[in-house]
A and B are shown apart, each in its own frame.
Chain A
């Protein structure tokens, strides 16, 4: 351990604000990017699923599958 106490670790001999703000921004951005990418992946999968479900539901009755397809596509291609 390079520091004597926890408060010394936080203070970093006066360099604390610089070091910790860097680490905070790093964690926020990296974690944010990971979570955001995972959520978008989920959203795309859900979108595909909804579309396939709709197609299956409407294929027997021939009820405007085209319109629903274009609708989901617009939703999916957002980013």
Chain B
């Protein structure tokens, strides 16, 4: 157990494992995502209320889902950084934060475009959209702080503190935004909450969520590998690896 833990912290070990798994992650991710989206776009039946505009759900929900769970993953990594000082954990946070920002932006963008045919405006101060907007700010803050601190070690730990403070706040923010929303505009038409979604709708949705997760895994591995190379460029194993041409 402890040996495994120790190994997990070793960038060299991770580099090897990631290199081995990445082709599988990429292939299965692309396959599932393509299948899910094609199914959702062409074969799933139209929604009886929203017509075909609901087909945005197949990218809106996966990006929103991933953006939120990535922040939670970052928080777990932040705890590991602060408590065990594991190098890989802060590599993960640094590598993943920009991806989270992009996914959050995507879910906001798709939500706004979806809102146009559904609500008649591009932007509604709906509880979910607003929470996602705040999540975008949180990601932005994490990236800005990371960029602002030159020293790598302090940057990692400062960012870890910020991520943890953010994750404590997320439930409070969600709760208060929901409350604020009911205060200002009671019972609007929710984008993604359906009384019951037929199987032909939720199976492709599930597929695209899974596919995007796998693609994110690939992307995270790749970006972590890059970050590891930058940090460990003076070490023996990087030299052996690069000279052997197995980057």
- Chain A contacts to B: CB under 8 angstroms: 1-3, 9, 12-16, 18-19, 21-23, 25-26, 29-30, 33-34, 37-38, 40-42, 44-45, 47-49, 51-52, 73, 76-77
Which residues of the partner chain B approach A34 to less than 8 Å between Cβ atoms?
215, 218-219, 222
- Chain B contacts to A: CB under 8 angstroms: 37, 41-46, 51-53, 55-56, 59-60, 63, 99, 102, 105-106, 109-110, 113-114, 116-117, 215, 218-219, 222-223, 225-226, 229-230, 233, 238-239, 242-243, 247
Indicate if the CB atoms of B247 and A45 lie closer than 8 Å.
Answer: yes
Indicate if the CB atoms of B117 and A18 lie closer than 8 Å.
Answer: yes
Which residues of the partner chain A approach B46 to less than 8 Å between Cβ atoms?
2, 13
Q: Which residue of A lies closest to B240 (CB)?
A: A52
Indicate if the CB atoms of B99 and A33 lie closer than 8 Å.
Answer: yes
B115 to chain A, nearest CB (A): 9
- Asked if A18 meets B114 with Cβ closer than 8 Å, knowing A23-B59, A25-B109, A26-B106, the reply is yes
Indicate if the CB atoms of A33 and B113 lie closer than 8 Å.
Answer: no
Q: Which residue of B lies closest to A42 (CB)?
A: B247
- Asked if A48 meets B106 with Cβ closer than 8 Å, knowing A15-B117, A22-B113, A22-B114, the reply is no
Report which of A2, A19, A49 forms a contact with B53, defined as CB distance below 8 A: A19
Which residues of the partner chain B approach A18 to less than 8 Å between Cβ atoms?
53, 56, 113-114, 116-117
Indicate if the CB atoms of B222 and A38 lie closer than 8 Å.
Answer: yes
Which residues of the partner chain B approach A29 to less than 8 Å between Cβ atoms?
102, 105-106
Could you list 24 examples of A-B contacts with CB < 8 Å?
Answer: A9-B41, A12-B51, A12-B53, A13-B52, A14-B51, A16-B52, A18-B113, A18-B114, A18-B116, A22-B60, A22-B110, A23-B37, A26-B59, A33-B219, A38-B222, A40-B226, A44-B226, A44-B229, A44-B233, A45-B242, A48-B229, A48-B239, A49-B243, A73-B233
Indicate if the CB atoms of A12 and B52 lie closer than 8 Å.
Answer: yes
Indicate if the CB atoms of A52 and B109 lie closer than 8 Å.
Answer: no
Report which of B42, B56, B222 forms a contact with A1, defined as CB distance below 8 A: B42
- Asked if A22 meets B230 with Cβ closer than 8 Å, knowing A15-B52, A33-B99, A45-B242, the reply is no
Q: Which residue of A lies closest to B152 (CB)?
A: A77
Which residues of the partner chain B approach A48 to less than 8 Å between Cβ atoms?
229, 233, 238-239, 242
- Asked if A21 meets B113 with Cβ closer than 8 Å, knowing A13-B51, A15-B52, the reply is yes
Indicate if the CB atoms of A2 and B45 lie closer than 8 Å.
Answer: yes
Indicate if the CB atoms of A77 and B242 lie closer than 8 Å.
Answer: no
